[in-house]
Structure 1
Amino acid sequence: MSDAIKHECGLAYIRLKKPLSFYLEKYGTVSYGLNKLYLLMEKQHNRGQDGAGVATVKLNVENGYEFLHRLRSNARQPISDIFSQIGAQIDDLEKYLPAIQTQPEIMKGHVPMLGELLLGHLRYGTQGRNDVEFCHPFIKRSLNKATNMAMAGNFNLVNTKELFEFIGMEPGTFQKQSDLAAMMEVVHHFLVKEAEQTGNNINIAHILKQATSLFDGGYTISGLIGNGKSFVMRDEHGIRPAYYYADDEVVVAASERASIRTTFNVGENEVKELMPGNALIVDENGAYEVVEILEPKERRACSFERIYFSRGGDEKIYRERIALGYHLSKRILDLIDADLKNTIFSYIPNTAEVAFYGLVKGMEDYLNTIKVQRIMSWNGDFDQAKLEEMVNRKIRQEKIAIKDVKMRTFITADAGRNEMVQHVYDITYGTVKKGQDTLVVIDDSIVRGTTLKESIVRMLSRLEPKKIIVVSSAPQIRFPDCYGIDMSRMGDFIAFRAALALHKDRGTEKVIDDVFNRCLELQQNGQMHAENAVKGIYADFTPEEISGKIAELITPEDVTVPVEVIYQTIEDLHDSCPTNTGDWYFTGNYPTPGGNRVVNKAFINYMEGVNSRGY
C-alpha cells in the first residue's frame, strides 16, 4: 500500500519430537530447531517491524534448573538481533568447550534458548508503545512447573476490560495497553485452576474452552506450558490465519502456509489449515491432535490477508491477487474507451505487482480478441506488414515509479515533512507522451490517500499525461478494524472523509448529526454492540460517487491533470478470494458484536475530536 497500514503480527511455533542428539546425527547440528525457527520467522518478517521475541521450554530439566527462557528485541532488525545474541552465546561457549556442539545435553544446559518447544513472534504494534516490554511472548512464572507459561499471538480483542473484571484483576498501566496481557491472565487463571483440581494432570482443551469462550475478537494464539504441553488455537470465525505441519520429527505452526513450505521444504497439501475454532494441542511426549474448542461460526477470514498482508509466494494467494487485478480490467477499458494504444499501465508500490499482472492479463485477453476479430474481418486481404503490425500490438507497461529507499522523512515539522514525502518515490522520465497518454496505476488499496496526494499524484503529474487513473485492488475502506490491523480511527479513511464532503456539498449534514445522535443513544443504553450505526454515513451515495469525491481529495490544488479513481467491487473481491470473506473494512458487517461497538465508538471519537482508537 502506498499508505501503508500496520500489519498484524506473525506467529512461529516448533515442537521437536526427537531428542537433540537425533538432529545432530541427521542434520549435523544441535541447533536444528533454532535454525528452523529463525527461517520460519524470517519468511514472515513482513508481519513485524516493531519487534520480535522467542521463548523456549526445555524438557526433562532437573529440579532447580530453569526450563523456560525468553529473549525479545525491538532493534531495527529484531529477528537478526535475537538470533545473533543466541549465536554469540554459542560462540562464547565454544571458546571454552570446543567440542560442545557434539554434546547435545551439555549444550542444552548451557544455551538458554536451546530447547524442544520453541515459540517465535513478530510484532507490529496496534496498541501500546513499541517498547520491548510489549513484544511477545509474554511469560507467567510459578513454583509449579505445570503452571508456567509462555504465550504469543496475532490478534486484537475488544473486551479486555471485561476479561480483567472476570478474573477480578485490576490491570496496571501496562496491562491496560496490551490485549495479550488480558488473554494471558485469563488462560493462566484457568490453567492454575485446572492444575489445582487435577493434581497437575492438566487438560489443555478444557482450559482453552473455558478461556476462549470469553474472548471477543480475532486471534491465533500459541502457548508453551512448563510441563511440556503446548497449543496453537484459532478463533471461531477464522479471522486470523493459522497453518500447521507435522511429521515424525517436528510439529510446526505459523501464520502463513508458504513460510512452513519453504522452511521445511514440503508440498502444499502437506501443510494444513488450522480450521476456525480448532486448536492444535501437543502433549508432553510430542503426540498431537487437532481439537474443536469452540463451535465454528460463519467463516470470516480476513480478506486483507489475500490482498496485501501475506506473502504472495503462496500459490493460492498468488492466483487470487492475479484475479483481483483481472476483475478490474473491464471497468478500466470502459473508462479509457478501450484506447490501449494511448494508455500506459504501471503499479505502486511493489506489493501491487501481482495484481498488476492480473490487470495486464485482462487487457491482453481483450487485445487478443480484438486482434482475431480484425484479422478475420480482412477476409484474407492483408500482406505481411499489415499482419505483423496487428499481431505485434502489445499492452504498454512501464515501471513509472521507483521508491527511493534511501529517503528518510526525518523532518517532523509539517511543511518540511510534506516536502520530503513528495520525493519518497522517483519517476521514470520519457515514458509518457505528454497530453496524449493516459496513465493507469494500480495500488493494493487506498486507505488514507495521504501518500497519493502528497507524493504519487503530484509526481505522476510531472510526466504530463492526458489523465491519471488510480486503481485499487481492494474496495473502499470505510470502517475500522479491531481484529489485528491498526485501522481504528474513522478520520484516517479517505472514503469516510469523501462521504462527509459529499454530505457537505449536498447540504445533507443532518445525516451526520443523526448518526452521531444514534451512536450516543446506543452508548447510553449499553447497546453499542447491537448495530453499526455508521453505515448511515454512506447510505445515500453510490460507490462511484464516493470514488469521484476521493479523486478530488487526492488531487493537489496545483495539479491540473485530471485524476480518476477506480475501486474493486465487493462482489469481485469475493469472487477472487472465495475462502476469505472477511470484508467488514469495506461493508461494516462485523463478525462479532464487538465490531459494532468499535465502529460506533470510533465515530463518537471522531465527532468529539478524540484521537484514539475505538477500543
Structure 2
Amino acid sequence: MEQLKHECGVAMVRLLKPLEYYKRKYGTCLYGLNKLYLLMEKQHNRGQEGAGVGVIKMNSSPGHEYVFRERALGPNAIQDIFSTINRQIERDAIADKPIELIDACTPFIGEVYMGHLRYSTTGRSGINYVHPFLRRNNWCSRSLMLCGNFNMTNVDDIFRSVVEKGQHPRIYSDTVIILEQLGYALDKENSRLYHKYTEEGLDGIARAGAIEDHLDLVPVLQSTAPGWDGGYVICGAVGSGDMWALRDPHGIRPAFYYYDDEIVVVASERPVIQTVLNVSRSDVRELMPGSAVIVSKSGNVWVGDVLGEKENRRCSFERIYFSRGSDADIYKERKALGRNLVDKILCVVDYDLKHAVFSFIPNTAEVAFIGMIEGLEKYLDVSKATHIEELSVEGALTHDVLMEIMSRKLRIEKVAIKDIKLRTFIAEGESRNDLAAHVYDVTYGIVENGRDTLVVIDDSIVRGTTLRQSIIRMLDRLHPKKIVVVSSSPQVRYPDYYGIDMSRMGEFCAFRAAVSLLKKRGMEHVLEQVYEDCLMMEKMPDDELRNCVKAIYAPFTDEEISEEIARMLTPVDTQADVCIIYQSLEGLSKAVPDCPGDWYFSGDYPTPGGTRLVNRAFVNYYEGNMDKR
C-alpha cells in the first residue's frame, strides 16, 4: 500500500532517584538517556521525518545551562541526535568526573527526558517545526518544554485567543500556539505563588524555591486544554522539574505510562515500555481519556482526571496500521480483521480453494493474513469433515478417497516481495509509472496460467496509487485468471484531521469512485447540493453541524463502490479480472471493539472541528482548490 504518515510518537522519562543511585545500581549515569534512546528507536515506525530530544537538569548550578535540546531532520534523525549528544558528553569527560559535577554541569544528563518523532501531516516541514519546542525564562519555574502527538482542528480560534491576550507567536503552528497558551497559564500560576509567598515574608532564593516546590499544573492544563478541538497527547516539562502528559477527552491519540520508585515513563505504545523496561503488560497502564500523569519537582506521581472523559473515540487506524503489532491486543485484533473477510473471499473465489493462491502485501498486512488463513483453514476442515461424513453414510469412503480428502490444503505462497526503494524522481510521465511498477517483485511459477485466482490481502487501500501503478501490474505478470485484492480495513471515505496524513478529499479512491458513479448515472445534482449544504454549514454553530459529504455515498451500496474502485484502479492492459474486497464497518467493530473511532470510514467525527473541516474539504474540492485541506 502507499505509505501513510502519522503524527507522531512521544517518549518521556522522569528519574525519581539521585543520579548516584543509577550509577551505583546500573553502572552508568546515562541510564535515563539510554532508556529514552530505546523508547524512541522502538517507536521509529511513528515518525521518520524528524526527531527531537529535550533534557532538564534539576541540579544545575547558576550560570550553567539547565535545559538542553537537540533536533534533526530525516529518517536517521534519532541516530544523528544521539551521536551529537554522545560527542558532547564525551567531550565533558564524565569518566573522570565525580558524580556531583556531572549532575551539576554535564550536558544532556538530567532528571527529565523528552523525546519526539515526527511526521508532518500539515504540509509544514523543516527544523523549526520539529518538537520539542522551548519557551525559555530566567526563572526555572517559568521555562517550558513541549512536545506532542496531536493535530488541532481549531488552530485559528486558538491563535486568535493567544493574540487577544497580547502575545505575539513567532510561528503559526498549533505547537507554538499551544506552547504560548500553556506558557501564559504557567506564568499566571507563578504570579499567584509569587504574591502568596511574598505576603508570607519570603524573598529571593527562598521564594523562588517555594514557587518551584508548589507549582500546581492541573489548573494550568484546565485553563487551556478545554479550548482545544482535536486528538492529542500533550507532553510538557517545566524547567524546575515538573512533568506531565495529557490525553484528549475522547482518547483519539494513544498514551501509556509506567512508574515505580525509580522511574516514570510515558510513550505512545504499550509494548515499547514493556520491552525497554522489561516489565509485564499489566504493569503498563493506559492513560485514560481526559486524564493526565503529572510528576512534581519532588517526584510525587499523580494520575487523574483533568478534562473529563467523553465518548470513547479511540482511533481504530492505530490498531489496523500504525501501532506496533507486537502489542498483544493489537495482534489479536489484526488477526480478527483477516478472519472476518473469509465469507466474502470464499464467495468471490466460488469456493474453489483448489485453484486459489493466497498471499499478502508485505509487510504490515502479515498479521491479518494469518487470521485470514486461520479462517479459511477452519472452513476447509469443516468442508473435509462434511465430505467424509457423507461418504461414510454412503459406504463409499475408501482409503484412497480419504487420503485425497485429507491432502486438501490451502495454497499459501509469498507472492509479493518488497524490492529496493527505486528513485522514481529521476523519471517523469509514463517512464515514472513504469519504474513505480517495479517497487514490488513477484515469485514466479506458483500460479497456473489462466486458471488460478490470486488472493492478496493488504491492511488498507486509501488512495489506490500503488495498487494501480505497481501491485496489480505486478500480480498480472503471473497470469492468474482473477486477482482479488482484500483490504483488512473498510473503505476510507473521509479525511482525517487528528494526526493521520489523509486530508485531501479528492485523493481517496472511494470518493473518486462515488463521484464517478454519480456522473455515470446522471446524478451530478447531488454534488451541487452537497456543495451548497457544505457552504451553509460554515455559518452553523457547533451543535448544529452535520457531515454533508455523506450524501455522496448514500445512493450506492458498499459493493457498488468497491466494483467501481476496482474498475478505476485496474490498468487498461491487465489480462486478469480484478476484484477488490473491503472490510465492513460491522467487521471492524467486531474485531476492534474497544477503539470505535472510525470517522475516516463512517464520517462520524468525534469533535465539531472534524465535521467543520470535512465540509470545507468538499468545498475546496468542488471549487477546484485541490491543494487546500
Match of 1:225 among 238, 248, 251: 238
Determine the C-alpha separation between the residues in 2 that align with 1:556 and 1:181.
45
Structure 1, unmatched stretches of 5+, are none
1:555 alignment counterpart: 570
> Residue deviations 1:172-220, cap 9 Å, x none?
89622x2211211111111111111122342101111111001000001
Change over 3 Å in CA distance of 1:165–1:302 after alignment to 2 = same
**Within 2, Cα distance between the matches of 1:188 and 1:605?**
35
Q: Distance in 1 between matches of 2:274 and 2:89?
A: 28
Aligned counterpart for 1:509 among listed residues 511, 524, 539? 524
Aligned to 1:175: 171
Indicate whether 1:117 and 2:112 are aligned.
yes
Change over 3 Å in CA distance of 1:406–1:273 after alignment to 2: same
Match of 2:490 in 1: 475
**For the residues of structure 2 that align with 1:529 and 1:89, how far apart are their CA atoms?**
56
User: Aligned letter for 2:318?
Assistant: E
Q: Distance in 1 between matches of 2:157 and 2:184?
A: 14
Inter-partner Cα distance in structure 1 for 2:95 and 2:273: 33
Structure 2 distance, partners of 1:608, 1:437, is 46
The equivalent of 2:127 in structure 1 is 132
Displacement of 1:126: 1.0
What is the rounded CA distance, in whole Å, between the counterparts of 2:484 and 2:274 in structure 1?
38
1:143 aligns with 2:138: yes
- Pair 527,13 (structure 1): closer, same or farther in 2 beyond 3 Å: closer
Tell me, yes or no, if the aligned pair for 1:55 and 1:118 is still in contact at 8 Å.
Answer: yes
Contact 1:155 1:220 in 2 (8 A): yes
Q: Establish whether residue 49 from structure 1 lines up as the match of residue 48 from structure 2.
A: yes
For residues 67 and 84 of structure 1, what CA distance do their matches in structure 2 show? 20
Q: CA deviation at 1:98?
A: 4.6
Q: Which moved more, 1:586-595 or 1:167-176?
A: 167-176
CA, structure 1 residues 550+455, in 2 after alignment: closer, same or farther (shift >3 Å)?
Answer: same
Query: Residue 532 of structure 1 corresponds to which residue in structure 2?
Result: 547
Structure 2 CA distance, aligned partners of 1:227 and 1:611?
A: 47
Residue 432 of structure 1 aligns to a residue whose secondary structure is coil
5 Å matches for 1:409-558? Answer: 409-411=424-426, 413-524=428-539, 530-558=545-573
Q: Structure 1: how far apart are the matches of 2:350 and 2:415?
A: 22
Match of 1:599 among 592, 614, 622: 614
AA aligned opposite 1:13: M
8 Å contact 1:529–1:596 — kept in the other structure? Answer: no
Q: Do residues 105 (structure 1) and 100 (structure 2) align?
A: yes
**Contact in 2 for aligned 1:325/1:357 (Cα 8 Å):** yes
- Whole-angstrom CA distance in 2 between matches of 1:181 and 1:155: 13
Cα shift readout 1:432-488 (whole Å, capped 9, x = no counterpart): 101110011111000000110011001111111010111100000000111111111
1:92/1:63 CA distance change after superposition, 3 Å: closer
- Cα gap change, 1:443 to 1:510, in 2 (>3 Å): same
Tell me the residue number matched to 1:3: 2
Q: Residue 89 of structure 2 contacts residue 107 of structure 2 at CA under 8 Å; is this kept in 1?
A: no
Change in CA separation of 1:412 and 1:302 when aligned onto 2, cut-off 3 Å: farther
Alignment match of 2:623 (pick from 577, 586, 608): 608
User: In the aligned structure 1, how far is the partner of 2:312 from the partner of 2:411?
Assistant: 40
1:294-309 aligned within 5 A: 294-309=307-322
> Are 2:50 and 2:119, in contact at CA under 8 Å, matched by a contact in 1?
yes
Letter paired with 2:128: E
3-state SS of the aligned residue for 2:449?
Answer: coil
Q: Normalising by structure 2, what TM-score?
A: 0.94
Any idea what SS the aligned residue of 2:326 has?
coil
- Contact in 2 for aligned 1:529/1:594 (Cα 8 Å): no
State the one-letter code of the partner of 1:461.
D
Question: How big is the shift at 1:417?
Answer: 1.9
Matches within 5 A, 1:25-44: 25-44=24-43
Partner of 2:265: 252
- Kindly indicate whether the alpha-carbon contact (under 8 Å) linking 1:529 and 1:597 is maintained by their aligned counterparts in 2: no
C-alpha separation in 2, matches of 1:581 and 1:394? 36
Q: Does 1:159 align with 2:154?
A: yes
Counterpart in the other structure of 2:215:
202
Aligned residues: CA RMSD: 1.7
**Following the alignment from structure 2 to structure 1, what is the Cα–Cα distance between the partners of residues 90 and 184?**
40
Q: CA deviation at 1:248?
A: 0.9
| SS of structure 1 residue aligned to 2:227 | coil
User: In the superposition, relative to structure 1, how do residues 11 and 498 fare at CA in structure 2: closer, same or farther (>3 Å)?
Assistant: same
Alignment CA distance shift 1:174-1:537 (3 Å): farther
Deviations along 1:307-348, one digit per CA (max 9) or x if unpaired, are 000000001100000000000011111111111110011111
Name stretches of at least 5 consecutive residues in structure 2 with no aligned partner: 195-210
Q: Tell me what 1:23 maps to.
A: 22
Decide which of 263, 268, 281 is 2:281's aligned counterpart.
268
Shift in Å, 1:609: 1.6
Identical-residue share of aligned pairs (%):
50
CA contact (8 A) 2:359 2:414 kept: yes
Deviation at 1:374, TM superposition (A): 1.4
Q: How far apart in 1 are the matches of 2:136 and 2:279? A: 36
Looking at structure 1, the residues matched to 167 and 472 of structure 2 have their Cα atoms a distance apart, in angstroms, of 46
CA 1:544–1:173 in 2, change beyond 3 Å: closer, same or farther?
Answer: farther
Residue 331 (str. 1) matches residue 328 (str. 2): no
> Could you tell me how far apart the structure 1 residues matched to 2:454 and 2:106 are?
57
Partner of 2:587: 572
Q: What is the aligned residue count?
A: 608
Do the aligned partners of 2:453 and 2:481 also contact (CA within 8 Å) in 1?
A: yes
Q: Which amino acid aligns with 1:46?
A: N
Asked whether the equivalents of residues 61 and 105 of structure 2 are also in contact (C-alpha less than 8 Å), the reply is no
C-alpha distance in 2 between matches for 1:64 and 1:91? 21
C-alpha distance in structure 2 between counterparts of 1:174 and 1:402, whole Å: 47
Instruction: Give the drift of 1:130.
Output: 2.6
Q: Which amino acid aligns with 1:423?
A: H
* Alpha-carbon distance change, 529 to 24 in structure 1, aligned in 2, over 3 angstroms: farther
Aligned residue in 1 for 2:365:
352
